[in-house]
Amino acid sequence: MKNQEKLFIGISDCGKKFPNYENWVRIHGGEVDVIKLGYRNNNLDDAARCDAFILSGGHDVHPRFYGKPEYFDLLDPTDIDERRDEFEMKIIEAAEKNTKPVLGICRGLQITNVYFGGTLVPDIFSHLNVEGHNQDEDSDDSLHHIHVEHNSRLFHIVHEKSGEVNSAHHQAADKIGEGLRANAFSKEGIVEGLELVTEEDEAGVLLVQWHPERMRNQQSRFAANIREWLINEAWKWK
């Protein structure tokens, strides 16, 4: 632990799967503490205490936030939470204002892309005619390979040109938000990762469409290295 200091990682509330993210971060032990951020707790002010953020998975983003209200009829209205959308965009705004690092996971990628002016594919299976990936026998996730762009921040984190990741999403980034760039793709061309283009010494925004916090192989560079990146970025910011 550095000078007995402690990092505070803010994680957006995603309901019953929140412990997956919390436990994944707490692997680092006593040097890291977690703050659950959510509109139900009405605790946006706690974002000021956080050294970095994880935007977790879960609900579909309401399409009105990316200028496609006609997509609403294509979605399950019980899987949309506008108050969560609004709250998490305020987290992103606070992070951007204070140049704090952000890791967006699955929905976290999508809401961040929307925040920066991007749009989403409402359903990749119907809109892009994409078939399901191979099922992970030990979870509800699917497994598939991704290609990592060589000149990306992600490549410098995982040091891999390709790899197998888990998948549990039916939406994806369509138009890429301003200041973001794609850093990984599936074989079908679906965006599997985004990152904010910044100077090398600035805090990073890394967005992945898979779930590193629950990958069966936690030694995979697509899980372990991403967690290490977030912790290191948080220490740099602190």
Residues belonging to the active site = 106, 211, 213
d(CA 54, CA 178): 20
- Alpha-helical (H) ranges within the chain are 18-26, 82-97, 107-115, 124-127, 153-158, 224-237
Residue type, 74: L
Angle between helices 107-115 and 82-97 (to 10 degrees): 70
CA distance 70 to 5: 49
143 CB contacts (<8 Å, ≥6 apart)?
133, 134, 135, 136, 164, 165, 166, 167
Phi, psi dihedrals of residue 6, rounded to the nearest 5°: -135, 140
CA angle 92, 98, 100 (to 5 degrees): 65
User: What tokens appear for 74 in the block?
Assistant: 């294509």
Q: Is the dihedral of CA 209, 104, 99, 39 positive or negative?
A: positive
